[in-house]
Chains A and B, each alone.
Chain A
Amino acid sequence: AQSVTQLDSQVPVFEEAPVELRCNYSSSVSVYLFWYVQYPNQGLQLLLKYLSGSTLVKGINGFEAEFNKSQTSFHLRKPSVHISDTAEYFCAVSELQGAQKLVFGQGTRLTINP
């Protein structure tokens, strides 16, 4: 079984500042890793994913994440945030088989202050 821990429930940052949202996972098998974003009153949207290869993955809206196997982490970063980045962010994992059955973390609410 897999589990995901998002270390911060809320992250407030100022506009144009950098941000890092932390995610650690636990699994006895190899996994795929994902970050999803949920804007208010909307469904989830895939930001980026790590399947294999380069440990630094780039996604939409200027976000990137780095897979660290030894630390079982997959932290999300953006060098300069915008007001429109205000949303809930979810880290998720799936087994390689059944790659569309996701285990989500509890979410991190990112609030951008002007």
Chain B
Amino acid sequence: ETGVTQSPTHLIKTRGQQVTLRCSSQSGHNTVSWYQQALGQGPQFIFQYYREEENGRGNFPPRFSGLQFPNYSSELNVNALELDDSALYLCASSLERGRAGELFFGEGSRLTVL
């Protein structure tokens, strides 16, 4: 079975631009979560998608938005980038009614905002 894959692995943007990050979930998983991990910090929950609907959101502004597609892959979009958006963005897939904490993480997309 294939694991969680994310693209791109690294990217550089300037303040005010928009970015789209992509995630392919592990085979058979119907839930995708996104986390932001700033340098030296633990991951912070952005939002979760289940069957193409947002299923919970953390404390992030509306310029952070997402999509989940029928094949359960997902996108994270960030508009009007700010310097503090520089971070590692982690995608995790799971089963909505799977075992607690059983999330499978990708290796992340590292975003640098200049």
Interface range for B: 20 to 34
Q: A104 contacts which chain B residues (CB < 8 A)?
A: 35, 42-44
A19-51 CB contacts (< 8 Å) to partner B: 32, 34, 41-46, 49, 51
Whether the pair A100, B31 counts as a contact (CB closer than 8 A) is: yes
Q: Which residues of A contact B (CB under 8 A)?
A: 4, 6, 9, 32, 34, 41-46, 49, 51, 90, 92, 94, 96, 98-107
Q: How far is the CA of A49 from the CA of B102 in the complex (A)?
A: 9
Option from B44, B56, B102 in Cβ contact (under 8 Å) with A98: B56
Q: Is the CB of A94 within 8 A of B42?
A: no
Distance in Å from the Cβ of B108 to the closest Cβ of chain A? Answer: 6
Q: Would you call A90 and B100 a contact (CB within 8 A)? A: no
B90 at the interface (CB under 8 A from A): yes
- A105 and B56 alpha carbons, distance in the complex (Å): 20
Query: Among B41, B48, B104, B108, which residue has its beta carbon within 8 angstroms of that of A107?
Result: B41
What are 26 A-B contacts defined by CB distance under 8 Å?
A9-B40, A43-B90, A43-B92, A43-B105, A43-B107, A44-B43, A44-B90, A44-B92, A44-B105, A45-B105, A46-B102, A46-B103, A49-B101, A96-B100, A98-B56, A99-B100, A99-B101, A100-B98, A100-B102, A102-B35, A102-B43, A102-B45, A104-B42, A104-B44, A106-B42, A107-B40
Q: Which residues of B are at the interface with A, using a C-beta cutoff of 8 A?
A: 4, 31, 33, 35, 40-45, 48, 56, 58, 90, 92, 94, 96, 98, 100-108
Q: Are B42 and A107 in contact (CB under 8 A)?
A: yes
- B40 CB, nearest partner CB in chain A, Å: 7
State A100–B34 Cα separation when bound (angstroms): 11
| A100 in contact with B42 (CB, 8 Å) | no
Q: Which residues of A contact B108 (CB under 8 A)?
A: 43
**Minimum CB–CB distance for B4 against chain A, Å:** 7
Q: Among B48, B104, B107, point to the contact of A101 (Cβ < 8 A).
A: B48
**Whole-angstrom distance between the Cβ of B93 and the nearest chain A Cβ:** 10
- Contact A46 B101, beta carbon cutoff 8 Å: yes
